[in-house]
Structure 1
């Protein structure tokens, strides 16, 4: 399993973006500066911000010092005014940095107080707007306005009375907070004072302030605009740089919603006012995805961070050169890697082209990690249940689930033994490599991209020699499998049909079908027979399936203990059943002695 959070190292060979951002911030003549790191959700923006922060902190020296401040816009949404929260975070960081310089510390403390005054000014402005317009916009005033309107229409309710009492308390608290400190008289004066104190603190510290803003695109439109407006306050201050990571389309959508416009140009130009230098993350191709998989597998194998960083450099160089035997070069560069990694690297080589191009994935690193984690969870469940299943087959099925979710249930139905031949036929057609859609696709599969289907079918391993039962069990949250005979192989299904109706333990027909079963098939048949018996309410007379289950247990010792466990759950065992199992080795006397009924009517229906 891999963490869903940002990586500690460059797993996608994007060092050039990090170096470009750091180089821009390092040029004093460009300050103040705002840099945008644009990319889709999950494309690795947060990882790049972490790498940029680490690079700047390593570069700090007496002549070129950086104070890096991180601001997560999403963290404050709904809890604070985003504008004031950003100013708070920055002023607190400056105060902490200035603690050893008494003069600068005093100015930094003044800056902190200035933020509090601006926050008060904002609250007072909203309350004044409520009062002046008669149109309350949120908080306690909004609640009172709604109550008043309802009271005029139909009279106050008990709930309205409670709302008035609560809102009155909130208004009193707001007023009390505003009176604790003299209310600012002029917003321009307060903002000008803040900017002046801010520049004085930076000059006193002798540092370049770099503010890293993340998760802006996760915010609601109002919070997104508030954060951008707060950034505007700092854009023209000396020794200041902002690095803002966001999904550009999401931010532009927030601008449209906030201002009530459908104009793409308006949203585009609005964002351009805040971002001076946009850096767009390149899409991850096959080489980058292979690098990601190599490093993820190395991480899972316990390879230390230093060695992984070395591998990342080697892989990045190979990606730039192209057409090199990547696996062999990597293994030669790090001969002490764990022995299981060469096979994992082979798997990465097979998966990378698919993950780079498959719809619904398209090289997105977070989606790839989540897909691989989902496969790992299913693998862990298989190991816990003792199911023998190929890890690559689990990944192959999970990939289809991600890329064609609407058709996944149909795939599982085709994996069932009764339809597996149809799936294998499609595999053989895809293996020919002919262009165009595959013939005889299941209903609904026409909407799946033909290139994806052909590549997916060609991805090893084949379903031809696969045991479908474990895969279906692992995907039972998608397809209900309880008591479903469709899971049985052809031989197992034939055995179940015969044994479920057998009225005698000794039967040549039963012996014939049991002889064809593997241990796995025998386990599946016993499970189905027990499921059938559990649905029987009246055990006074012979129950269909019991004779066949006893015969199966004679041929497969492991199934004897399974059957004994089920029978031991019965409240009592009727005489006819006691006579059948009396001499069976798995029905030891302690197991059934206290269960045997002394007469008819003693037996209750088994628990379902």
Structure 2
């Protein structure tokens, strides 16, 4: 089987249009062209993350480029920040105008200034063989040099755009369509700067804007939630109309999955049931489908754990990994007291159904599972003949379960996916092999290989120089990669497998950060108990991060009392560690 990765770039041609959005692109391109007499206007292509906004816009652009009386500009708002977005968008538009039109505009601006400045500017414009980019830079300097010029910028841009639109033999005029992508991924300052450019400066005849964004992300509860009433009213004026990209039908998305599978070389492994499963569980989201198929190909081809596994089990497990990452981490982490998170969740669901309905007589098997679930977490089960105590017992149980269990229990898609996986023959053995063979969780520490901003000096190669970290874990090999990364950045990392070893390190060293597991062996609270002793005795008062496979409300409460943080996420661990250790070199220098 020859597997190849699917890229995540927007579609730019009909041959790559696996979802069949070409028809919508042709109709929208025709609408934009036929509406050129009504310019200026703004059309929003509205859809959520990964639903194909950029691909549709690229296909519209390809259709428009076939027309002689239309020019296009593509601007990715995510590449600019704040005020730079205003300049970047306006310059992108100016770069599309003809050189002679730009030169005439520059001469007009020069004539309006003082005699000396005008002579100097005109001489420069005439003497220097500026290309289009040079003319645009000079024109921008003239337009933005002072408040008076900025106030006149809109009039100058209107005249320039009108001259360009009417300078060719087209009826009623030429059209410039500006595509703005990824606006909903930008910070509020950038969003407002782009909208200011569109509405205040470029709202001129001959220009149409097509903006790709998730309108809900730009609403009052999204990125712009802190906007003033006046700002909100301004935003309402930006979009004259919207095209809401429809969610693909069940049949269309199934065709898309098949086409992706053919391109990746996996079609022979995906029968129709798996095609439908991928389509439904990925919420008919094209980007999620591509990522799942890429993950499936890599795992199935490279991970020896999957060699003898049923493809259906592989797909369902990867769906858990991609769609429910927190639960998947809990599933692989396990501990001696609760090694099987999948079975633990399904038993909890039955216990919740029983204990949450005290007025109904429980099924004997359901009652047995509920009692076992409560007792298995070190709690006293309620008497069967006292249903008034059942709900309190359920609340105590949930304090000792992973924090996401109650939420997941209400997620019908998750429950069905997990139940279907566990019903497959050999699923329990597969999950056991995954837990035993899973590679250590990796993390990339912030700032690694990051270029210096604004031409400044690069960060020191050892930003944690002088910092001392104590890492307590009875399975130290699980943290080898993280330890290497810390040491490569200048930190001294001490390792201990239990509290006694850790205390020897604490006695003779100034530890800046303590990293620890929670459960060790059969003691599910060993990490908490040790930290409590060290806090009470004054042996260690510094920052602590517990890195564990499961977070429960009980554990969160205990961390709060101990002044510690807890995480299951490698990315969050990296951020927490970085925030502490970056301050150490300066603090040591002040001592």
Cα distance in 1 between the residues matched to 2:138 and 2:221? 28
Q: Choose the corresponding residue for 1:277, options 235, 238, 241.
A: 241
Shift, 1:414, TM fit: 7.7
TM-score, normalised to structure 1's length? 0.50
Shift, 1:283, TM fit: 2.8
1:34-83 Cα offsets, whole Å, 9 max, x none, are: 1111111222111111111111123x14xxx21111011111226x6212
Which residue is equivalent to 2:193?
226
Q: Is the 1:57–1:66 contact (alpha carbons within 8 Å) kept by the matching residues of 2? A: yes
Shift, 1:426, TM fit: 5.7
Q: Is the 1:43–1:364 contact (alpha carbons within 8 Å) kept by the matching residues of 2? A: yes
Which residue is equivalent to 2:425?
464
Q: Is the 2:342–2:418 contact (alpha carbons within 8 Å) kept by the matching residues of 1? A: no
Instruction: State whether structure 2 residue 81 is matched by structure 1 residue 77.
Output: yes
Q: Is the 1:221–1:255 contact (alpha carbons within 8 Å) kept by the matching residues of 2? A: no
Which residue is equivalent to 1:25?
32
Which residue is equivalent to 1:603?
none
Cα distance in 1 between the residues matched to 2:143 and 2:274? 57
1:92–1:285 Cα change, 3 Å: same
Cα distance in 1 between the residues matched to 2:88 and 2:138? 10
1:415–1:186 Cα change, 3 Å: closer
Q: Is the 1:74–1:219 contact (alpha carbons within 8 Å) kept by the matching residues of 2? A: yes
1:427-479 Cα offsets, whole Å, 9 max, x none, are: 9x99xxxxx99965974434213522442145468443244254335644459
Where structure 2 has 5 or more consecutive residues not aligned to the other structure, the ranges are 110-131, 351-355, 358-364, 374-400, 443-472, 478-591
Which residue is equivalent to 1:46?
54
Cα distance in 1 between the residues matched to 2:201 and 2:272? 50
Cα distance in 1 between the residues matched to 2:292 and 2:269? 19
Shift, 1:93, TM fit: 1.8
Bigger helix fraction: 1
Cα distance in 2 between the residues matched to 1:410 and 1:38? 35
SS in 1 for 2:270: helix
- Aligned length, in residue pairs: 361
Q: Is the 1:74–1:218 contact (alpha carbons within 8 Å) kept by the matching residues of 2? A: yes
1:229–1:396 Cα change, 3 Å: same
Which residue is equivalent to 1:334?
none
Shift, 1:236, TM fit: 4.2
Which residue is equivalent to 1:34?
42
1:494-517 Cα offsets, whole Å, 9 max, x none, are: xxxxxxxxxxxxxxxxxxxxxxxx
Cα distance in 2 between the residues matched to 1:81 and 1:413? 45
Cα distance in 2 between the residues matched to 1:461 and 1:7? 38
Where structure 1 has 5 or more consecutive residues not aligned to the other structure, the ranges are 126-184, 302-339, 356-360, 431-435, 485-608
Q: Is the 2:278–2:289 contact (alpha carbons within 8 Å) kept by the matching residues of 1? A: no
Cα distance in 2 between the residues matched to 1:29 and 1:124? 34
Which residue is equivalent to 2:464?
none
Q: Choose the corresponding residue for 1:198, options 161, 174, 192.
A: 161
Cα distance in 1 between the residues matched to 2:84 and 2:179? 18
Instruction: State whether structure 2 residue 267 is matched by structure 1 residue 341.
Output: yes
Shift, 1:189, TM fit: 3.3
TM-score, normalised to structure 2's length? 0.52
Instruction: State whether structure 2 residue 405 is matched by structure 1 residue 455.
Output: no
Q: Is the 2:81–2:189 contact (alpha carbons within 8 Å) kept by the matching residues of 1? A: no
Equivalent runs, 1:562-581 vs 2, <5 Å: none
SS in 2 for 1:36: strand
Q: Is the 2:6–2:290 contact (alpha carbons within 8 Å) kept by the matching residues of 1? A: yes
Superposition RMSD on alpha carbons, in Å?
4.2
Q: Is the 2:25–2:56 contact (alpha carbons within 8 Å) kept by the matching residues of 1? A: yes
Cα distance in 1 between the residues matched to 2:418 and 2:136? 64
1:348–1:120 Cα change, 3 Å: farther
Which range moved further: 66-75 or 388-397?
388-397
Cα distance in 2 between the residues matched to 1:267 and 1:256? 13
1:19–1:270 Cα change, 3 Å: farther
Q: Is the 1:195–1:237 contact (alpha carbons within 8 Å) kept by the matching residues of 2? A: yes
1:241–1:474 Cα change, 3 Å: farther
Which residue is equivalent to 1:317?
none
Cα distance in 1 between the residues matched to 2:80 and 2:342? 54
Equivalent runs, 1:317-336 vs 2, <5 Å: none
1:541-575 Cα offsets, whole Å, 9 max, x none, are: xxxxxxxxxxxxxxxxxxxxxxxxxxxxxxxxxxx
1:226–1:398 Cα change, 3 Å: same
1:327-376 Cα offsets, whole Å, 9 max, x none, are: xxxxxxxxxxxxx6354252543324532xxxxx5333223323333333
